[in-house]
Amino acid sequence: MNSNHPMLNKPASLSVSILASLLLSSCLGDESSQGTATGTNSTTQPAAADTTKVRFVGFGDAGQATGAGPAAQTAVGNAMASVCKEMGCDFALEFGDNFYLSGVSSTTDTQWQSKFENPYANLNLPVFATLGNHDNSQGPGEGSDNSKGDVQVAYHTASENQNKKWNMPARYYKFTAPLSSANNNGFDINVPMGYELAQTPIEPIVEFFSLDSNPLTAIGLATNDAATYNYITYGPVMMDWYNEALKSSKAPWKIAFAHHPYVSNGLHGNAGEYDGTGAVTTVFGPMKQVLSQLPLPINTVLSLTQTGEPWLDFHNNSSCTNGLDFFMFGHDHDIEWLKPQDKCGPKTNFILSGAAEQPRAFGDPNRNPVYFQKDNILGFWWFEFSNNEMIGTAYEVTFPTGGDGSDFTVTKLHEQTMKREGKREITVTFSRN
């Protein structure tokens, strides 16, 4: 395990009383802008960084899963660069499945150029990435070889990372924003040429927690993974680190990001029932009843990973109890902003952004209540956070048939604002025009 992660001897306390004050409002729009990417590494952040706001784009499932992948991925990359030039961006989050179909084999793998550096040549920003099942696979996405994901961690400090956009210092990690080299993140932030990174400490507005969902959701575990990434031991250690980090965070907003969903209306569905596998766990009903009486972390991890039940239990005993504001993820290839879930409490919102290269239809659009969702499109989210307010905007990307992605159209689909009034009392309203 990376030395940046504190190892706790006892599970973190799961009891916490949290009230947030939220005012939600939303409006739909059809504003669109067209542009042609220049193919140059033009800076996409504002000339002077604004320490009163944090702006970023979030995208996932982008590693060229289809023959049309290079053009589609390039179009989305150029569209994000265009939006960032207009709206401002400090960095990007990538939500896993960064390299289809089976990750990268080394830091010299040519896929680093074809599936990351080249498609995002015009996105001159730090990219903070997390791992998906395809990044940890021997075959087409089973997630059985976590050593493949370790290569993406190694690229963070590798000499081959010459453009210095890629950030993944460990399989799970945290950082605060506005970004600063002097903030206590536990690792050196990579930034591309021309990007000005603050050198003095900045009071955090958002703290981000990148989580490693694959060991808790994989279809199978390879023999060479058993000692290090057996979910029975790996999950509780990560959960202890995460709970302690959430409780100690001083940031007004707390955002976790990973690859696998907690809830989703896409093809894969909700954690605990991924791909319709929820019925499998009923075979173990009597054993699960016994396990449910045992203390954590034992109950957290003794479930079938292919259903995503360990991942569900992970969040039920961390994100849902220790004040997470947003959980952002990919895995399903669509765009969603899901409402807070009764099983997780009224505070946590869920953002899905997995449409950065291979669009797909919903599995069940009515599975979970949403503020907004759209399937069968290329797209991404743009966000802005200040101390007391956030804005989230969904964008759709199109490009000409047969094009290479350099010509594109980016269209605003949905914009939503959340306001935090006061520190404790909660008031929630929502309206849509």
**pLDDT for 20:** 30
Q: Count the neighbouring beta carbons within 10 Å of the beta carbon of residue 368.
A: 19
Q: Which residue has the higher pLDDT, 221 or 379?
A: 379
> Quick one: which H or E segment has residue 287?
helix 285-291
87 pLDDT above the threshold of 60: yes
Interior CA angle at 82 toward 79 and 83, to 5°? 90
For residues 363 and 340, give the distance between their C-alpha atoms in angstroms, rounded to a whole number: 20
Sequential DSSP letters for 63-98: S--STTHHHHHHHHHHHHHHHHHHH--SEEEE-S--
Please tell me which residue, 45 or 119, carries the higher pLDDT value: 119
Contacts of 393 (CB under 8 A, 6+ apart): 87, 381, 382, 383, 412, 414, 415, 416
Tell me if 302 sits within 8 A of 315, measured CB to CB: no
Contacts of 255 (CB under 8 A, 6+ apart): 206, 207, 208, 209, 324, 325, 326, 327, 328
Q: Which residue has the higher pLDDT, 291 or 160?
A: 160
Q: Nearest-CA neighbor of 259 among 103, 98, 132?
A: 132
Q: Are 241 and 7 contacting, i.e. CB atoms less than 8 angstroms apart? A: yes
Three-state DSSP at 342 gives coil
Please give the C-alpha separations between residue 162 and each of 153, 165, 378, in angstroms, as whole numbers.
15, 8, 29
**Structural tokens at position 158:** 């590798």
SS3 of 226-267: HHHHCHHHHHHHHHHHHHHHHHHCCCCEEEEECCCCCCCCCC
Q: 119-158, pLDDT tens digit by residue?
A: 999 999 999 999 999 999 988 898 989 999 999 999 999 9
Residue 105 confidence (pLDDT):
97
Share of the chain above pLDDT 90, in %: 70
Q: Report residue 422's pLDDT band, with 50, 70 and 90 as the boundaries.
A: low
User: C-alpha angle 358/397/137, rounded to 5°?
Assistant: 25
Q: Do the strands 326-329 and 253-257 form a parallel or antiparallel pair, or are they unpaired?
A: parallel
Tens of pLDDT, residue by residue over 400-421, are 999 999 999 999 999 999 988 6
Distance CA 96, CA 154 (A): 16
Residue 388 has pLDDT above 90, yes or no: yes
Dihedral sign computed on CA atoms, order 157, 212, 241, 347:
positive
Cβ 60 vs Cβ 94: under 8 Å: yes
Beta bridge partners of 379: 396
Pairing of strands 91-94, 54-59: parallel
pLDDT on residue 222:
67
Mean pLDDT of 198-211: 96
Which one has a higher pLDDT value, 390 or 32?
Answer: 390
